[in-house]
Amino acid sequence: MKRKINLLVICLLLVWGCGKNSSTTKTNVVADNPSIKKFFNQDGQFKIQFEQPPTAYSQYIPYEDGKILMNYFIYEKGINLIYCISYADYPESFTADKVDVDILMTLLATYIDSQKAGLEVQKMISVNSYPGIYFKASNSDTFVYGEYILRENRLYQLTVTKEGSYHNEAEANAFLQSLELL
């Protein structure tokens, strides 16, 4: 139980947190298993591949002089592995007069600092022409593959978080690359 709580806290810190450099374009890959259907969220305007239906919940988090609603979709596979996508609509001031790459780099740096994590890989990506950043990071307990994607003032956060070691990279990337922004 403690492990699940720790992994969930890491997922939440990725939200509140709101290497190597290269640039790539992300392609949307669909898993080879046709029996697994993509999860669709109308409000979030996305589809993504989960092995099972995720648990969904929302909560308000503090932001500047108010609060924003963060929406989470989490699938726990076993006792130490979590797949998560979350999104929030920030005020327009979040992106106004700012460079997208700078916003993404600042979010990632904040997360890395908050977790006292080592950043092993970071690279700029594009999802349906929207800017994003892919990363691989860990501290002594938690290992994360993740992406932040900025769609105007909406921030999507995808993570595959495992306690003790990195999850299979091909499986983690299949989840991350299954995202379709509608």
Q: Which domains does the chain have, with CATH numbers?
A: 2-181 (3.40.1000.10)
12 φ/ψ angles, rounded to the nearest 5 degrees: -65, -40
Q: What are phi and psi of 87, to 5 degrees?
A: -150, 155
Q: What is the pLDDT of residue 34?
A: 56
Which pLDDT tens digit goes with each residue over 42-82? Answer: 888 999 999 999 999 999 988 877 898 999 999 999 889 99
Tell me the per-residue pLDDT of 2-17, one tens digit each, with 9 for 90 and over.
Answer: 444 344 434 434 443 4
What's the mean pLDDT when you consider all of the chain?
Answer: 80
Average pLDDT of the residues in 134-162:
91
How far is the CA of 39 from the CAs of 113, 164, 175, in angstroms?
Answer: 32, 28, 11
Q: How far apart are the first and last CA of the chain?
A: 36
Report pLDDT digits (tens) over 86-104: 999 988 877 778 888 888 9
What strands, in cross-sheet order, belong to the sheet with 118-127?
A: 55-63, 66-76, 81-89, 154-163, 142-151, 130-138, 118-127
